[in-house]
């Protein structure tokens, strides 16, 4: 669990649905290793979570904070790439954080 940094809030409820996934990917890719984005939404975004798992593999940890009728809150925690991931074409920018924007 990330205790070194205060999570960056990303409230998807105020973003038009057609832009949400792109905005979320952009926000995640701006995070550095060990940083957390706290995602807030009005529903459980299962298709988005599957896209995140496919795109970032184990580099982004998905951790539910709240999951009820009032809101769904998920922490996305960025982990450094392992040497195997770094050499294997997986996600990762050169200076840390997610770097899939070209991918």
Tokens linked to 14: 């105020």
Question: Burial of 100 by CB count in 10 Å (0-12 exposed, 13-18 middle, 19+ buried)?
Answer: middle
> Given this model, what pLDDT does residue 12 score?
96
pLDDT digits (tens, 9 = 90+) for 10-69: 999 999 999 999 999 999 999 999 999 999 999 999 999 999 999 998 899 999 999 999
Q: Indicate the pTM of the whole model.
A: 0.75
> Given this model, what pLDDT does residue 92 score?
46
Round to whole Å and give the CA distance between 101 and 35.
18
pLDDT of 70 over the 50 cut? yes
* Cα R_g (the chain), whole angstroms: 13
The pLDDT-based confidence of 84 (bands split at 50, 70, 90) is low
Top CATH class of 8-87 equals alpha beta
Round to whole Å and give the CA distance between 71 and 73.
6
**How many residues can be counted in the chain?**
103
């Amino acid at each position: 669990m990330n205790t070194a940094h205060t999570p960056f809030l990303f409230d998807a409820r105020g973003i038009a649905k057609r832009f949400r996934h792109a905005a979320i990917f952009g926000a995640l890719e701006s995070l550095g290793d060990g940083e957390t984005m706290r995602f807030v939404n009005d529903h459980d975004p299962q298709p988005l979570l599957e896209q995140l798992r496919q795109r970032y593999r184990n580099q982004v940890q998905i951790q539910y904070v709240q999951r009820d009728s009032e809101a769904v809150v998920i922490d996305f925690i960025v982990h450094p790439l392992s040497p195997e991931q770094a050499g294997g074409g997986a996600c990762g920018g050169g200076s840390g954080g997610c770097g899939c924007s070209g991918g």
